[in-house]
Amino acid sequence: MNSRQRIATVLNRDVPDRVPIDFGAGGQTGIMASTVYKIKKHCGILEPGERIKVTEPYQILGEVDEKLRKMFGLDVVGVSGLNNMFGFKDENYKPWTLFDGTPVWVPEMFNTEPNEDGGIYMYAQGDKNYPPSSVIPKDGFYFDAIIRQNHFDPENLHPEDNAEEFGSISQEELDHFKKQVDDIYANTDYGIYLTIPGAAFGDVALVPATFLKDPKGIRDITEWYVSIALRPDYIKKVFEIQSEIVLENIKAIYKSVGNKVQVVFMSGTDFGSQKGPMISDATYRDLYLPYQKKLNDWIHQNTQWKTFMHCCGSIDPLIETIIEAGFDILNPIQISAMNMDPVILKKKYGDRLIFWGGGVNTQKTLPFGSPAEVKAEVAENIRTLKINGNYIFNAVHNVQAGVPVENFIAMIEAYKENCNY
């Protein structure tokens, strides 16, 4: 099989020749830029003076290019929208250097300013006329959102304020999607993964609106979580506005790219902590399921796409409802969280969900274990999760900065040794 056929086989709930593998298709399956640099240097494919292109500046993810795809046998390529988490386009790259000395390329509007604590401020849409929206702490690895709750009045809230970022997709962005998808489809045999803009409901990575110059509404993460309990009607009105806009955008995207796309990223909202869900199943059903199901149902009724949900943490009590909401794929399978044993998850849900990830513990084993420990864990997890298909290999979330190259290589070696059916 080629990569596209392999992905299609898994998505159709059949068993391929080997487990497909992804690194870099989405913002939750990538590799930090500094680690990409070390991997390329270790493997002898780093050109003299080469800089790593930052493809997702909020998390400082590095480009997984064709050299790495071929070397590691990757099967999926990602397609995303025009604007990043800071609200500007990824274009016209310029040189920059990370705290650890890694040389990178960043977009033209990546406008930063050092702060008094030795950190680095970032500005929404690159506009320094407004307060910074994010900061990398001194010697940090990626940006943290800065809470800017500038217009909050609990007695005078308007749902439209929290839906400010959702708008009709432009023809420019549709053309952007079409050009990328057509090029990948015509000139490669990779599977295609597309991130739908704005489809995640209540994602607290997005609530602070690092991409808006002067955000209105509820923008403090704590206040947002409080509102789930105290202001559910307000949250529902925000989601109603959002779902209507995003549904029309999905229709327009499908008209533009058709079924050349195989997987669509729909949600990155985290519902789990390390020890259990952060909300009850009843709350999930009341607040989130109706809107997620509305979008997923249209996709399943009108396209061949499969829907992808990212959700960190211990979420076993919510998984039945996640399936009911119409998600085909669950990521990252946080095996390091409580009650997320891959053996149990595979037995309970493996015939109804495609698991994407869960290959190695990125909180402990990958960064701090030995290569032998990495290989043993990866081998065990692949053998468990690949049973009867329905599995695509990736780590648990992005491969972080500081991961030893030897451990990353050990992960890939263990994958190759255990991926065949």
CATH number at residue 220: 3.20.20.210
In a domain, 139, yes or no: no
In a domain, 34, yes or no: yes
Per the CB < 8 A criterion, the answer to whether 349 and 339 are in contact is no
In a domain, 132, yes or no: no
Q: What is the pLDDT of residues 353-367, one digit of tens each?
A: 999 999 999 999 999
d(CA 236, CA 302): 25
In a domain, 317, yes or no: yes
Three-state SS for 63?
coil
Q: Give the relative orientation of helices 171-187 and 232-257 as an angle to the nearest 10 degrees.
A: 50
In a domain, 382, yes or no: yes
Q: What's the residue count for the chain? A: 421
**Run means of pLDDT, 10 residues per run, the chain, 421 residues:** 98 97 98 98 97 98 98 97 97 97 98 97 98 97 95 94 97 98 98 98 97 97 96 98 98 98 98 97 98 98 98 98 98 97 98 98 97 98 97 97 98 98 97
Three-state SS for 170?
coil
Residue 254 belongs to what domain range?
Answer: 3-40+61-89+152-418
Task: State the total domains in the chain.
Answer: 1
In a domain, 137, yes or no: no
Amino acid at 27: G
For residue 150, the model assigns a pLDDT of: 87
In a domain, 212, yes or no: yes
In a domain, 104, yes or no: no
Residue 128: C-alpha distances to residues 56, 119, 133, 219 (Å): 20, 16, 10, 20
